[in-house]
Amino acid sequence: MLEVRGLVKSFGGVKASNNVSLSVPEGRITSLIGPNGAGKTTLFALITGFHKPDAGSVHFLGEDITGLPPEKIAQRGMVRTFQIVQPFAGQTVRENIAVGAHLHVQSRADALEKAEDVAGKVGLGDRLDMDAASLTVAGRKRLEVARALATDPKLILFDEVLAGLNPSEIRDVIPVIRAVREEGVTILLIEHVMQAVMSLSEHTWVLNQGALIAEGTPADVVGHPLVVEAYLGKGMAERIAKREAHHA
Amino acid sequence: MKQLVLLGLVFAVIGLAPFVISSEFTLNLVIMVLYAALLGQAWNILGGYGGQFSFGHAAYFGTGAYTVAVLQVQLGINPWLGLVAGGVMAMLVAAFIGFATFRYGLRGSYFALVTLAFAEVLRILSNSVPFTGAGVGILIPLDQSAANFQFASKQGFFWVIWVMTLAAFATVWWIGKSRFGAQLMAVRDNEDAARALGVEAFKVKMGAIMLSGLFSGLAGVFYAQYFLYLDPYIAYGPAISIESLLVPIVGGLGTLFGPLLGAIGLHLISEATRELIGDLPGISLVIYGIVLVIMVLFMPRGLAGLVRRLWPKPAPAKAQATEGGHA
């Protein structure tokens, strides 16, 4: 469904994305993990048109969308959420979600009605008339999901929807993400919360210093020596292996 | 829907003015309030609903005013046709300025400075080309007849400005209820988030600046026909740009009735200062400056916000009750 080939992006001397190729199959939840500063959010920005890649291509539903602006990409059915939540402050939850709904709905009344519907799905149904700025962090994360969902996307890119939430909130939001997939929406998510990655995603890509270093099922990937080193430092994989051998 | 009824009521009441007011002086005051409300509402479309603060709305006002004046004086074209031409020309100037600024993603103070610069460029141009009368200005010959868009009594002018202002307010009412308006406000509140949801920010902003320019241009046309004299400083000078933005800021940015409240408030203030201090040159600008500072500091939501605070909307009861459960 989404095919990324050889994406390169440099900011000055830093290669934020170094020849990254990955693919997201339809109907799955795929995840992208990596330590802070690995270039995950940059990769999202490249895929969704917020940055233009220096080289490489992005294909979505078989079409080349490299370099298209974000609104055109959203119109084709791929939307993203933001790691740092971006509510339309001063507008109500209902109005916020309606902006997403308006992508395919002309009438204001229909868009507002659809917003209500979507709000119910993500658990915001009781806060429709609240100012988006007065929502809790968890509420705003739900709002990000709702707005993206209201555009009737085929693929959603979630940028750390669980970051900053406490364990009980995370337990609440995980089913919401799963429900999105149940509706037939493909998902690519960036996540630090490993509990979520392990329980949600079927396939994981690992990014470090702008380059992909591993891929596979979440369970395979966490044991991969390069991944361990990326998170814990050079030599750690070896030391852990030694200690395990010692214990055995 | 409630807003539309209220809008109809307010304009119906204002429409009684020519029947109940016999003094030309008072009727002139009502006309000037409507004219200020039109200028302010025009700015409000782009600034209040679109979040793009223009410091150069004189560019559209002056273009409308000069279009109707020059067509009449130089080419003998009827000012009613000039009215249409003035609106269209102002809209085209707005489209040009919008294209030049939004294409390159200018926002905030950069956008404000560039619009200011465009207005100044037009002022200097109109000061140097011959067909605008250059620095001497342009005088529209007095020839009072309704067919000539010059009325013997103030009542004729009243109905023209009443219709123009009503059109601007009805447009803004529509903006508040339409997809275009929802997208415009989304761009105002967070352009990146709006684009991520498929909003074509550039197109939406172009639409807003063109509507805004159209109504500013109509105000310019009205001014030219009402006072029958223009010079570069009147048409393209900063005073109009300042009045355009002051009215909605005082009244309430991004609200339907804000510009009307602002126009009334500012005229009350300027009439009061005239009574108290006399016609000291520049004193009204000093007072405007003070008012602006006070409004921004203490009433950022303007007079409309004050009205809201005094008569709050009945809040849906269940909305607050449940928030605690999720915190």
d(CA B103, CA B81): 32
With beta carbons less than 8 A apart as the criterion, state whether B224 and B19 touch.
no
Return the H-helix or E-strand segment holding B94: helix B79-102
CB contact under 8 A, B201 and A148: no
At A2, give phi and psi (nearest 5°). Answer: -115, 130
Residue of B nearest to A169 (CA): B326
Q: Tell me if B110 is assigned to some domain.
A: yes
Partner-chain residue, chosen from A89, A103, A128, that has the shortest CB–CB distance to B197 = A103
CB contact under 8 A, A98 and B326: no
pLDDT score of A167? 87
User: Can you give the residue range of the structural domain that contains B163?
Assistant: 25-312
Q: Tell me the CA distances in angstroms from B113 to A41, B98, B110, B281, one per residue in order.
A: 33, 13, 5, 27
Count the Cβ atoms, other than its own, within 10 Å of residue B15: 14
Mean pLDDT for the stretch of residues A165-192:
89
In terms of Cα–Cα distance, which of A213, A235, A208 is closest to A224?
Answer: A213
pLDDT score of A75? 94
ipTM at complex level: 0.88
Q: Tell me if B2 is assigned to some domain.
A: no
At A202, give phi and psi (nearest 5°). Answer: -100, -25
Q: Which residues of A touch B (CB under 8 A)?
A: 48, 50, 69-71, 74-75, 79-82, 86-91, 95, 98-100, 102-103, 105-108, 111, 126-130, 136, 138-139, 147-148, 150-151
Residue of B nearest to A132 (CA): B189
d(CA B178, CA B184): 10
With 0-12 / 13-18 / 19 or more C-beta atoms within 10 angstroms meaning exposed / middle / buried, residue A167 is exposed
With beta carbons less than 8 A apart as the criterion, state whether B304 and B257 touch.
yes
pLDDT score of B296? 81
pLDDT score of B226? 95
Encode pLDDT of A51-96 as tens digits.
Answer: 999 999 999 999 999 989 999 999 999 999 998 888 998 899 999 9
Q: Tell me if B289 is assigned to some domain.
A: yes
Mean pLDDT for the stretch of residues A171-197:
88
Partner-chain residue, chosen from A74, A136, A139, that has the shortest CB–CB distance to B196 = A74
Q: Collapse the DSSP code of A143 into the 3-class scheme (helix H, G, I; strand E, B; otherwise coil) and give the result.
A: helix
Contacts of A206 (CB under 8 A, 6+ apart): A32, A33, A34, A212, A213, A214, A215, A221, A224, A226, A227, A230
pLDDT score of B326? 41
Partner-chain residue, chosen from B179, B201, B326, that has the shortest CB–CB distance to A136 = B326
Percent of chain A, pLDDT > 90? 49
Residue entry with tokens 């693929």: A155
Structure token pair of residue A101: 């709904």
d(CA A186, CA A180): 8
Residue of B nearest to A131 (CA): B319
Our CA-based measurement puts residue A224 at a distance from the nearest CA of chain B, in whole angstroms, of 35
CB contact under 8 A, A99 and B323: no
pLDDT score of A248? 66
CB contact under 8 A, A99 and B177: no
pLDDT score of B315? 52
pLDDT score of B317? 44
Q: At what angle do helices B24-44 and B201-227 cross, to 10 degrees?
A: 160
User: How many distinct structural domains can be found in chain B?
Assistant: 1
**Which amino acid, residue A150?**
A
With beta carbons less than 8 A apart as the criterion, state whether A162 and A193 touch.
yes
Q: Tell me if B140 is assigned to some domain.
A: yes
Q: Is B255 on the interface with A (CB under 8 A)?
A: no
d(CA A216, CA A122): 29
Mutation for A interface: B3, B178, B197, most A CBs within 10 A:
B197
Task: Give contacts of B 264-323 with A, CB under 8 A.
Answer: 315-316, 318-320, 322-323
Per-residue DSSP letters for A213-245? EEEE-HHHHHH-HHHHHHHH-TTHHHHHHHHHH
Q: Tell me the CA distances in angstroms from B65 to A199, A216, B87, B186, one per residue in order.
A: 67, 69, 9, 33
Mean predicted lDDT score pLDDT of chain A:
89
Partner-chain residue, chosen from A70, A95, A106, that has the shortest CB–CB distance to B195 = A70
Partner-chain residue, chosen from B190, B196, B315, that has the shortest CB–CB distance to A70 = B196
The CATH number given to whatever domain includes residue B203 is: 1.10.3470
Mutation for B interface: A72, A88, A144, most B CBs within 10 A:
A88
Q: Tell me if B20 is assigned to some domain.
A: no
Q: Domain spanning A2-218 has what CATH number?
A: 3.40.50.300
Q: Tell me if B190 is assigned to some domain.
A: yes
Per-position pLDDT tens, chain B of length 327: 788 999 999 999 999 999 998 888 899 999 999 999 999 999 999 999 999 999 999 999 999 999 999 999 999 999 999 999 999 999 999 999 999 999 988 888 999 999 999 999 999 999 999 898 888 889 998 888 888 899 988 999 999 999 999 999 999 999 999 999 999 999 999 999 999 999 999 999 999 999 999 999 999 999 999 999 999 999 999 999 999 999 999 999 999 999 999 999 988 888 888 788 777 777 777 887 888 888 888 888 888 888 888 877 655 444 443 433 343
Partner-chain residue, chosen from A102, A107, A139, that has the shortest CB–CB distance to B326 = A139
Task: Give contacts of B 156-195 with A, CB under 8 A.
Answer: 177-179, 182-183, 185-186, 189-190, 192-195
Q: Sort out which chain B residues have CB atoms less than 8 A from A91's CB and list them.
A: 185-186, 189
Band (pLDDT 50/70/90 cuts) for residue A165 is confident
Q: Tell me the CA distances in angstroms from A25 to A47, A159, A242, one per residue in order.
A: 15, 18, 37
